[in-house]
């Protein structure tokens, strides 16, 4: 059976395929042997009060306020709090952001954030955390296994590599199941 190219995966257009090919990734097998450089434990929630300096953590928070600071570059700063302990706050800092992102992060918005906590004086800060907006009653969306982090490839985000690898695993498992033994 001929090897499938990465163009068969959802999310791989001509630009992404060219970037992957430049990194030596042309087939599903190439993608599967391109190993992660690290794994993040996103399987459990950490309360803001329990954060430690330089710790990777996933937190359930509510936006209290946001502002845009002007300096050498614009910075979006959101102060967020633990919904069960509003006095426990964390600052989210985004150096590169879009207006739509700033509009989405309104006061009262519940978020699941994931990033490295940095001690800044008496409070913690996460710089460019991953986040997703949650409805008030939604449970946290925590994976059941460690999350892989891939080395950067120009033009291809680590998160896209992880999604493509998951797709490749599913496709290859289906091919293996359907082949006669």
The per-residue pLDDT for range 131-160, each reduced to its tens digit, is 999 998 899 989 998 989 888 899 898 889
Contact 124, 48 (CB under 8 A): yes
Per-residue pLDDT of 58-86, as tens digits, reads: 999 999 999 888 878 889 999 999 998 88
The structure tokens listed for 56 are: 């990777």
Q: How far is CA 6 from CA 57, 107, 118, 121, 124, in A?
A: 32, 41, 38, 47, 40
Please report the pLDDT score of residue 2 as a whole number.
56
Task: Collapse the DSSP code of 151 into the 3-class scheme (helix H, G, I; strand E, B; otherwise coil) and give the result.
Answer: coil
Give the global pTM: 0.76
Q: Kindly state the average pLDDT of the residues 16-27.
A: 93
The structure tokens listed for 179 are: 């082949």
Report d(CA 55, CA 42) in Å as an integer: 12
Q: In 38-107, where do the E strands start and end?
A: 38-40, 55-69, 75-82, 85-94
Please report the pLDDT score of residue 176 as a whole number.
60
Per-residue pLDDT of 80-137, as tens digits, reads: 999 988 889 999 999 888 888 888 999 999 999 999 999 988 899 999 999 999 998 8
For residue 180, pLDDT over 80 is answered with no
């Amino acid at each position: 059976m001929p090897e499938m190219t990465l163009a068969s995966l959802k999310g791989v257009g001509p630009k992404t395929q060219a970037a992957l090919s430049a990194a030596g990734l042309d087939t599903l097998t190439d993608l599967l042997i391109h190993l992660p450089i690290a794994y993040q434990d996103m399987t459990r929630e950490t309360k803001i009060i329990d954060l430690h300096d330089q710790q990777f953590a996933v937190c359930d928070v509510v936006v209290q306020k946001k502002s845009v600071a002007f300096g050498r570059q614009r910075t979006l700063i959101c102060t967020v709090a633990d919904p069960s302990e509003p006095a426990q706050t964390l600052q989210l800092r985004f150096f590169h952001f879009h207006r739509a992102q700033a509009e989405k992060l309104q006061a009262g918005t519940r978020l699941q954030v994931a990033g490295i906590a940095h001690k800044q004086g008496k409070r913690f800060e996460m710089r460019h955390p991953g986040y997703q907006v949650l409805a008030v009653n939604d449970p946290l969306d925590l994976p059941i296994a460690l999350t892989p982090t891939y080395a950067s490839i120009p033009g291809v985000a680590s998160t896209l590599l992880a999604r493509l690898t998951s797709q490749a695993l599913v496709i290859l498992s289906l091919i293996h199941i359907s082949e006669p033994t």
